[in-house]
Amino acid sequence: MSTLSTKERILNSTEKLIAEHGFAELSIRKISQRAHTNLAAINYHFGNKQQLIDQVLERRLNNLFDIRKNMLDELNQGDPKKVCNLEQILHAFIAPALFMINDEHQGGRIFMQVLARAYAEQSEALHDLMKDRYTPIIKEFAEAIGLACPDLPRETIFWRFHFIIGALTYTMGHFGATSVARQMPEEEYFEKSVAELIEFAKAALSV
Amino acid sequence: MSTLSTKERILNSTEKLIAEHGFAELSIRKISQRAHTNLAAINYHFGNKQQLIDQVLERRLNNLFDIRKNMLDELNQGDPKKVCNLEQILHAFIAPALFMINDEHQGGRIFMQVLARAYAEQSEALHDLMKDRYTPIIKEFAEAIGLACPDLPRETIFWRFHFIIGALTYTMGHFGATSVARQMPEEEYFEKSVAELIEFAKAALSV
DNA sequence: ACGCAATTCAAACGACTGTTTAAATCAATT
DNA sequence: AATTGATTTAAACAGTCGTTTGAATTGCGT
């Protein structure tokens, strides 16, 4: 049916179905139907439904975290104590997430809706992934921001960064919805979102 | 069993079950069991499951919007063109939402997790409610912020306010989780959240 | 071309889903 | 006390759910 393997087709159709209709209506029958395969293929390749969902989340999140980490390391040049430019730090954190959304070919926007829903549902697998991979990188970014904003107390940095993550998460999850309401072309609106969010974060950290 | 009516007990148990286990595991059998009533009582009082969920959302959202609107009108003194203090405007928007969270007696924190989940699931009923009631009030606040920040372009106001709403929504949805991680008493942490979020929003609108 | 392992498939399992039906119970009015 | 309407109940309905089973099929190394 396609050049992709059964396993890949299952992962893709799962992602699309979650984005389109949420977790509530997600069934392995619909998944297998959309992936042009059999019911039992899912249990064969992934064990059970939950482990399939976990792998959908992991597949892209690991990628996002790697990109963020690499961009920060490039600024750092391997030295966590190096003082970097605030805008570049924020760019390294924000841009990969939003670029992933705009990567229509790879279904990035779809994934962000999936992620937003899994986050709200407080998925256990997602929580574990966050603790193991996300939190350490968050801390690295917080450290870098602290060095770039020497006038702000450590505690303030924590709070402001927390709120910036909130603004980013909200924007990612509602990107499709808001872009419809705008009158500019979607591509233009996307780039505007990235720029405005970075400007917003800079302003929030400047006082 | 209780002083509350069957209808109220159903609404409350629904809210609690969504907050505890999400929409995925929500069944009218569990709801009726927890409300100490019969299966068919739900269909009798609410028509069907979806209309029950809709009423759970509406019950509290209408209340939140009313409070916000009243607080803004008090600042305005009924005149939408009156220039108000930025901090007071932000307080009128942010505080009612966070106070609702802290109202443990009325189950406010529970509701905010419900709201976060419904929002992620892109509930149709919630979307309609937003369009009819939320959007107009958002616009009123945006107007008031615009008057309070004469140096910022109208478009910038739009973006920054959008991000502030994101930070607020994120904080509401994850309040339970983050408060566990903090070492200060919960009550203190709550008040700190409100103050920090208002300071954050002020900073984000000051440049 | 054979044999073995990996993969795919149809079918069935038991459990759970939302909703409907009609009978039973309750509360209030005449 | 009888009657009426509102409420609650138990039971059944027709689907869908995730998972398992064992047979059929495929593809690859020999």
Question: CB of A4 under 7 A from strand C?
Answer: no
CA closest to B116 among chain A residues? A120
**CA(A194)–C1'(C12) in Å?**
53
Q: Is the pLDDT of residue B201 over 70?
A: yes
8 Å CB contact of B200 and A163: yes
Q: How far is CA B139 from CA B136, B144, B149, B161, B162, in A?
A: 5, 9, 15, 10, 11
Give the other-Cβ count within 10 Å of B132's Cβ: 9
Looking at chain A, which residue has its C-alpha nearest residue B22? A121
How far apart are the CA of B124 and the nearest CA of chain A, in angstroms?
11
According to the model, what pLDDT value does residue B1 have?
A: 44
Structure confidence at residue A106 as a pLDDT band (50, 70, 90): low
Q: What is the mean pLDDT of chain A?
A: 87
In this complex, the nucleotide whose C1' atom is nearest to the CA atom of residue B37 is D8
* Mutate which: A27, A163, A190, A191, vs B, most B CBs within 10 A: A163
A-chain residue closest to B155, CA distance = A196
pLDDT at residue B154, rounded to an integer: 92
Where is average pLDDT lowest: A72-76, B36-40, B109-113, B190-194? B109-113
Determine the residue among A111, A128, A152, A162 to mutate to test chain B binding: the one whose Cβ has the most chain B Cβ atoms within 10 Å: A162
**Confidence (pLDDT) at A1:** 44
In B, which residues are within 8 Å of A119 by CB distance? 120
CB within 8 Å: A24 and B121 = yes
Give the pLDDT confidence score for residue A21 in this predicted structure: 84
* A176 vs A69, residue with greater confidence: A69
The whole-number pLDDT of residue B173 equals: 77
Q: What is the 3-state secondary structure (H, E, C) of B168-189?
A: HHHHHHCHHHHHHHCCCCHHHH
Residue in B closest to A25 by C-alpha:
B24
A5 beta carbon to strand D: under 7 Å: no
Residue A160 and residue B200: Cβ atoms within 8 Å?
Answer: yes
Nucleotide minimizing C1' to CA distance for residue B46: C19
A56 CA from D17 C1′ (Å): 21
Does the pLDDT of residue B125 top 80, yes or no? no
Query: Is there a contact between A170 and B173 if contact means CB atoms under 8 Å apart?
Result: no
**HEC string for chain A:** CCCCCHHHHHHHHHHHHHHHHCCCCCCHHHHHHHCCCCHHHHHHHHCCHHHHHHHHHHHHHHHHHHHHHHHHHHHHCCCCCCCCCHHHHHHHHHHHHHHHHHCHHHCHHHHHHHHHHHHHCCCHHHHHHHHHHHHHHHHHHHHHHHHHCCCCCHHHHHHHHHHHHHHHHHHHHCHHHHHHHCCCCHHHHHHHHHHHHHHHHHHHCCC
pTM of the shown model: 0.87
Helix (H, G, I), strand (E, B), or coil: what is residue B73?
A: helix
pLDDT of residue B107: 63
Q: Of A117, A165, A197, which is closest to B121 when you measure between CB atoms?
A: A117
pLDDT tens digits for range B140-190: 999 999 999 999 999 999 999 999 999 998 888 776 555 555 677 777 888
Residue B24: pLDDT band with limits 50, 70, 90: confident
Residue B60's pLDDT band, with cuts at 50, 70 and 90, is confident
Interface probe for A, chosen from B111, B157, B170, B198 (most Cβ of A below 10 Å), is B170
- Give the pLDDT of residue A147: 96
Evaluate if residue A167 carries a pLDDT over 70: yes
Q: Which of residues 16-75 of A touch strand C (CB under 7 A)?
A: 37-41, 44-45
As a residue count, chain A comes to 207
| pLDDT of A115 higher than 90 | no
DSSP state, residue B37? S
- C-alpha span between B67 and B73 (Å, rounded): 10
Which is more confidently placed, B176 or B37? Answer: B37
CA–C1' span, B40 to D13, in Å? Answer: 14
Question: Any idea which nucleotide's C1' is nearest the CA of B31?
Answer: C18
What average pLDDT does range A177-187 have in this prediction? 64
For A70-106, give one letter per residue: b (16+ CB within 10 A) or e. Answer: ebbeebbeeeeeeebebebbbbbbbbbbbebbbeeee
| pLDDT tens column, A137-157 | 999 999 999 999 999 999 999
Tell me the pLDDT of chain B averaged across its residues: 87
Q: Which residues of B touch A121 (CB under 8 A)?
A: 22-24, 117, 120
Cβ within 7 Å of strand D: which of B 85-114?
A: none
Q: What is the pLDDT of residues A69-85, one digit of tens each?
A: 999 999 999 899 999 99
